[in-house]
Chain A
Amino acid sequence: MQRLHARYPFLETARDAVATEAVDLATVVDQDRAVVDRARERVVAALEDGETGEPRRDTRVELLSYPVARVLVSMVEERVLVRKYARAEAATAYDRFTTDFENTTELKSVESTGLDLEALLAEFDLDGAVRETADGYRIDVGTYLPLAEDLWGDEWHLVNRALTDGEVPVDDDELLTLLREAIRSRIEDGLPFDVPDVIAAALEDEAAEIREVLADLELTQDIDTVVPDLFPPCMKALLDDIQKGEHLPHHSRFAITAFLTSIGMTTDEIVELYRVNSSFGEEMTRYQTDHIRGDSSPTEYSPPSCATMQSYGDCVNKDDLCERIPHPMAYYEERIDDADDDEIEDWREADREEQSASGD
């Protein structure tokens, strides 16, 4: 059993095993170097290679390194790390369970270290929602949508699926990909969490090292730069319209506001940027912006994709870069990346200078 848990540390039973195994996590991180080293390696490998590194032979070390790795991820407290880490753990699990499934069919028996499809489906409460058919599987649509939410590629969009009677047909490989997503989402769930001081103190060096790796990779640079010149043409056009005082339909207003929020603008700044126009309703803008940001609603909304922009007729003045990107955010990221640093003048900086000048 321990080998199975070491191989798949995100399983419910693995969690129980940890609970009985590790008298308490504080003692482990304080005294068990092997576990801490392996935990650090898990996270660093996730960042650098999108994998979780070489597993240890000692199943105890291997198993306990997983909860400690989660502690490390929590201590660093960066969204990008959580995402990368969860993705790497899920990718590793995917490699392992696909191998296990192949072995299972070949040997017609499940070794104690292996996992079969049935068990994995049951682990994620998917046994009721997934049905085997002659040429693949059918998944309940309410289960499919959350599992497919982060998958790239038009083929995952529901509109391109042969949905019938509430079920989405998927082939064998697609089912495995969706299972990987179920794992990723479970791993991501609850991260980052509050780490008790006594544990954090013992892991400060490891956390610092991970922060360094992260800084070297320059992943944490949230786009927090507002350069309207580098906006995608669609957003430029919408912003122009607003500033000209045009009345925008709801979806257009949503698109530009969500975009501005995503590039790091605060509600105050957005209100300021919109204020140029006379028919501008500050109250409305504030409400909408807070709502999109998730301050006044349970969801933080992301700006619409190119496909959605197109379908609403908001996709205008397409240029070459537009052809290559699926999302207005991707456009802006690429433009920012390509621009020389001194070309980038943040609108807010310019504004601040202006303000301080007029105050003199």
Chain B
Amino acid sequence: MEERTRAYLRGRFRDHYRRTEITPPPAANEREWGFIPWTEGPDTTMVRHRSLLELGDLSEFLVRKRPRHVYFSAGRFRDPGASSMSAKDWQSADLVFDLDADHLPSVTLGEDTYAEMLAKCKDALFRLLDFLEDDFGFEDLEVVFSGGRGYHVHVRDENVLHLDREHRREIVDYVRGIGLEYEHLVETETVAGLGRKTPTERRTLEIEGGWGKRTHAHLMAYVDGLLEMEEDAALERLQEFDGIGEGKAEATLNAARNNREQLAAGNVTVHTAVSQLAERFAERAVADDNAPIDEPVTTDTNRLIRLPGSLHGGSGLQTVRLERDELDAFDPLVDAVPDTFRGHEITVDVTDPGEVELGGDSFTVTDGDQSLPEYVAVFLMARGRAEKEKE
């Protein structure tokens, strides 16, 4: 990036911060703050270990320093400005989740467009929120578009702030379905054998919550699908599973027809074939429902996270706090475009041309000098794909 480009972006970031009110996170003065200034080279040196006291008033600081990136810590400390982590004296930390398009299995890098990546990320976000709201029952959630390639969720429910790294790893594993054992989703009880003298075991899938409930939902959706099919088609569908031949397929179909209610109650002992089938749906549930969050972000109780409301220096987009009911309609490539950069055009020298989808429009950007809406120009410059025109 040329100095004139940096100078331009610095200036425009300052303009943005002059006209934007930024709400700091709760307990802002107990957190560590860090920022990356606009410096030469791809090398980004973070200025960190700052307390809010040192930075001064947040809005005034942002206008003065107009940083390229700005962060605050998930952790709260007794002395957030101390230069070593141990001297900071950790007290608690928000539970933070990061969904990054770069880490999503569903994203094909180099093939998916930015818009497609972000859409897939939003799907993953909804899956994540299912876990956080339903399974964990969290109430103090803040959902944020990162301004880059994904979403952050900050959880500040009192009962989890004290959890350490290992405990948070359990939460990560839960959300990702890591270490799930079908055996433990099933409860075994001994019941009197029907019409027999020997007692028999009844195995019931845990359907009240957790991954048992998810596994069960997948199983039942599949079973109900079978029941709607013609016999031949249903048998064929069942035999698509490895290890299920004609005999097991018939047994399973019969069990589904005769014992649907038992199955709906989680009883997987209706037939051994059903039990085997249920086990495969545990895997399917994980594959379909897990939220591929970035583990280190959640387990690191000192992590620095981008400040909502600030500008992302790698895109020129705004980091946006989102209300739960805005999520559906939220289109990051429209709604995160800062007003500051709307409504006028500037001239830039494009070095890496291509399609850009932004602000609700598609732009076919060519090589060389051209006039573009400022938000497109800022986006390209921030991404290193254009330079400010020579004066």
Contacts and interface: CB of A to CB of B under 8 A. Distances in A.
B86 A157 contact: no
A145 B85 contact: no
Contact of A159 (B137, B179, B296): B179
Q: Which secondary structure dominates chain B's binding surface?
A: helix
B301 A154 contact: no
Interface stretch (B23-31, B162-170, B354-362, B381-389): B162-170
A164 B134 contact: yes
A163 B210 contact: yes
A311 B84 CA distance: 32
Interface string B174-217: 10111111011100000000000000000000101111110000
Contacts of A157: 170, 173, 179
A166 B167 CA distance: 14
Interface in A141-175: 141-143, 145-146, 149, 154-155, 157-167, 169
Contacts of B184: 154-155, 160
Contacts of A167: 137
B208 A164 contact: yes
A218 to B, nearest CB: 27
A158 B212 contact: no
B296 A251 contact: yes
A149 B209 contact: no
A186 B166 CA distance: 18
Interface-central residue, A155, A157, A160, A164, by most chain B CB under 10 Å: A160
A150 to B, nearest CB: 10
A158 B213 contact: no
A299 interface: yes
A301 B168 CA distance: 13
Given A154-B179, A298-B302, A159 B174 contact: yes
Contacts of A311: 173, 176, 178-179
B171 interface: yes
A78 to B, nearest CB: 22
A148 B86 CA distance: 26
B85 A159 contact: no
A221 interface: no
Contact of B173 (A158, A250, A301): A158
B160 A296 contact: no
B90 interface: yes
A308 interface: yes
A271 to B, nearest CB: 19
A169 B210 CA distance: 10
Contact of B163 (A145, A162, A164, A307): A145
Contacts of B176: 311
B162 A298 contact: no
B209 A169 contact: yes
A145 B167 contact: yes
A129 B208 CA distance: 19
Given A159-B173, A160-B185, A166-B136, A298 B301 contact: yes
B295 interface: yes
A297 interface: yes
A140 interface: yes
A89 B232 CA distance: 64
Interface string B149-169: 000000001011011111101
Nearest to A146: B167
A142 B171 CA distance: 10
Nearest to B162: A142
A164 B159 contact: no
B135 A160 contact: no
A299 B177 CA distance: 25
A129 to B, nearest CB: 8
A169 B208 contact: yes
B165 A296 contact: no
B114 interface: no
Nearest to A145: B167
A158 B178 contact: no
B208 A307 contact: no
A158 B176 CA distance: 11
Contacts of B164: 146, 299
B138 interface: yes
9 contacts: A141-B137, A142-B160, A154-B179, A155-B181, A159-B179, A162-B213, A165-B135, A166-B138, A299-B301
Question: Which 8 A-B residue pairs are closest in the complex by CB-CB distance?
Answer: A166-B137, A164-B209, A142-B159, A160-B184, A165-B137, A162-B210, A145-B167, A162-B209
